[in-house]
Amino acid sequence: MYPTIAYDVNAEAALLSCFINDIELFGKYINRLKPDIFYRKRNSVIFKSMKELHSENKPIDLVSLRNHIDSNSEIDKSDINEYLNELGDMIQCPIENNLKEYIAIVVGKYQIRQKERMAYQIIETSKRPVDYQEIKKILFSNNVLSIDDVTESSVIVESLHQIIKNVNAESIECIEKGVKRINGLNSGFRILDKFVKFRPQNTYCIASRPGMGKSSISLKMALNNIMEDYKVLFISLEMSKEELMEKLISFTQRITNDEFRALHESEQIIRRNELSEFLGYKSNNLIIDDNSVEIHEIKNSIYNEHRTNKIDLVVIDYLQLITIDGSTENRNQEITKISRMIKSEISKKLQIPVIVLSQLNRGVEQRDNKRPVLSDLRDSGSIEQDMSFVMFIYRDEEYGIFLDKRTGKSTEGVAELHIAKNRFGSKGLIKMKFEKNYALFE
């Protein structure tokens, strides 16, 4: 155990005293705190006992606590009766503002201890032959480089009355400013916007077999949003920054990637400058990360950018290329863990929408009808369950089918977008124009 001075036993005692003497306050904060925040073992045991009594719908008073702790062998019980009496007498009429101050002190000390523990682990690890990967695991496990520490008291629970009041206040502010309240970002494709908006705290999946255009449509969505002055972080595990830039040039200047690469260097400079002029200052709204591959690297990249740039939308291209350092699980379990982290630790925690691109399993290729269905995702962890929205991309011409047998119409330049899951709206099939030369959806 490392030495520390990062604790305040008086604040811990005052916090417990408030809870013991006001069970309503305890019920309000029970899910915002955990026993680990207490430095003194007996304080941790008392709080843990209170939570257990609460979960069993038993009374929480000094008698009940004594009996419950008697069956707990974690601490020396010789002085627990006297200590519980002291807590009962300490703050008999708790004030919530004072309680919040005690929580801030106790949680603040706990956070310092967490960082001390990390530093101690690194120092101890470094005393033996070690490579940087071991050190990196310690850093990632302690969320180093991530956005501000989330305090143990940061969980906010609200009554429906308060939720209605807060949302109405936002609407009134928008009315006074003459602007529309934003409850989600558009894709920039009007026909698709009728089905979906990218709402904070939700994850969206665009899936297809290789070559159908999922990277292109997501990059076009990113472009559409940066033109509306939103900030987008595009995490590319498949293409480099330069390749993404070339795709944007292709979109905006109607020049194929092959044509661009065949240009003389001086002509390429002109094309890049034309893209810069077209976007203007909005080119700063698109941030590209083509280095992060491991899930904790991706998480830290998003946290850092959100802290400095206040990101409005994240696109990850694509899920199956993400790794987990040190994992011994099978790939299905890893994908499940990655998908859950994206949902809970990125989208929900930072309150931003995340678009995740996904490959489909090869089973699609074995069928006569190669249009994807939700079951094609089921070999890829818990994607189907974790996503608020799932959309498949399919193009007949990619399989050499150039005539629709049902209608007799040409399928060249036609993309089908199949909305297979939509938590906030209807499902359906959309047909869009696809310019293959430029990989451009319109």
CATH number of the domain where residue 54 is located: 1.10.860.10
Contact 250, 440 (CB under 8 A): yes
The answer to the question of residue 76 being in a domain is yes
Encoded amino acid at 16, one letter? L
Is the model more confident about 307 or about 202? 202
pLDDT in tens, 372-422: 888 888 666 678 888 999 999 998 888 888 888 888 888 888 889 999 999
Considering 84, 116, 141, which residue would you say is the last residue of a domain? 141
> What is the model's pLDDT at position 317?
87
- The pLDDT confidence band at residue 147, using thresholds 50, 70 and 90, is very low
Largest CA distance in the chain: 88
Whether 115 has a pLDDT exceeding 50, the answer reads yes
The 10s digit of each residue's pLDDT in 151-169 is 444 555 567 777 788 778 8
- C-alpha–C-alpha distance, residues 199 and 184, integer Å: 4
CB-neighbour burial class of residue 281 (10 A; exposed 0-12, middle 13-18, buried 19+) = exposed
Q: How confident is the model at residue 206 (pLDDT cuts 50, 70, 90)?
A: very high
Residues 253 and 373 in one domain: yes
Q: Are residues 117 and 211 in the same domain?
A: no
Residues 360, 205 contacting (CB under 8 angstroms): no
Answer whether residue 282 is part of any domain.
Answer: yes
Residue 382 lies in a domain: yes
Instruction: Answer yes or no: is pLDDT of 180 > 70.
Output: no
100/28 same-domain check: yes
Residue 218, domain CATH:
3.40.50.300
pLDDT recorded at residue 135: 67
207 and 126 within one domain? no
What is the rounded distance in angstroms from the CA atom of residue 7 to the CA atom of residue 282? 47
392 and 281 belong to one structural domain: yes
Q: Report the alpha-carbon distance of residue 144 to residue 169 in Å, rounded.
A: 36
DSSP strand pairing (354-359 vs 313-317): parallel
180 in any annotated domain: no
Question: 345 and 249 in one domain?
Answer: yes
Nearest to 221 by CA among 209, 233, 212: 233
pLDDT at residue 233 tops 90: yes
Rounded to 10 deg, the angle between the 62-70 and 41-55 helix axes is: 110
Determine, yes or no, domain membership for 147.
no
Which domain covers residue 133, as residue numbers? Answer: 9-141
Closest to 198 measured CA to CA, from 150, 168, 172, 232? 232
Last-in-domain residue among 121, 141, 161: 141
State the SS3 of the chain: CCCCCCCCHHHHHHHHHHHHHCHHHHHHHHHHCCHHHCCCHHHHHHHHHHHHHHHCCCCCCHHHHHHHHHCCCCCCCCCHHHHHHHHHHHCCCCCHHHHHHHHHHHHHHHHHHHHHHHHHHHHHHHCCCCCHHHHHHHHHHCCCCCCCCCCCCCCCCCCHHHHHHHHHHHHHHHHHHCCCCCCCECCCCHHHHCCCCECCCCEEEEEECCCCCHHHHHHHHHHHHHHCCCCEEEEECCCCHHHHHHHHHHHHHCCCHHHHHHCCHHHHHHHHHHHHHHHHHHHHHEEEECCCCEHHHHHHHHHHHHHHHCCCEEEEECHHHCECCCCCCCHHHHHHHHHHHHHHHHHHHHCCCEEEEEECCHHHHHCCCCCCCHHHHCCCCCHHHHCCEEEEEECHHHHCCCECCCCCCECCCEEEEEEEEECCCCCEEEEEEEECCCCEEC
Residue 129 banded pLDDT, cuts 50, 70, 90: confident
**Binning pLDDT at 50, 70 and 90, where does residue 235 land?**
very high
* Number of Cα atoms under 13 Å in the Cβ half of residue 277: 7
The answer on 348 and 224 residing in a single domain is: yes
Which one of 100, 122, 141 terminates a domain? 141
Task: Tell me the C-alpha distance between 429 and 442, whole Å.
Answer: 15
Q: What percent of the chain has pLDDT over 90?
A: 25
Decide if 26 contacts 19 (C-beta within 8 A).
yes
* Residue 162 included in any domain: no
pLDDT tens digits, one per residue of 36-79: 889 988 899 899 888 888 878 788 888 888 888 876 666 666 67
The predicted pLDDT at position 148 comes to 47
Rounded to the nearest integer, the mean pLDDT of the chain is 84
Does 208 share its domain with 102? Answer: no
Are 434 and 324 in a shared domain?
yes
Residue 13 — very low, low, confident or very high, per pLDDT cuts 50/70/90? very high
Instruction: Indicate if the pLDDT at residue 145 is higher than 50.
Output: no
Of 339, 346, 312, give the one whose Cα is nearest residue 233.
Answer: 312
pLDDT digits (tens, 9 = 90+) for 272-303: 999 999 988 988 999 999 888 888 888 888 98
97 with 229, same domain: the answer is: no
Residues 349-366, mean pLDDT to the nearest whole number: 87
Please give the Cα distance from 356 to 335 (Å, whole number). Answer: 12
Residue pair 286/226 in contact (Cβ under 8 Å)? The answer is: yes
Amino acid, res. 212: M
**Number of domains the chain contains:** 2
- 195 and 128 within one domain: no
Instruction: Flag whether 158 is in a domain.
Output: no
- 84-107 CB burial, b ≥16 within 10 A, e <16: beebbebbeebeeeebeebbebbb
Residues 185, 353 contacting (CB under 8 angstroms): yes
372 neighbors 392 (Cβ within 8 angstroms): yes
Residues 295 and 378 in one domain: yes
In a domain, 169, yes or no: no
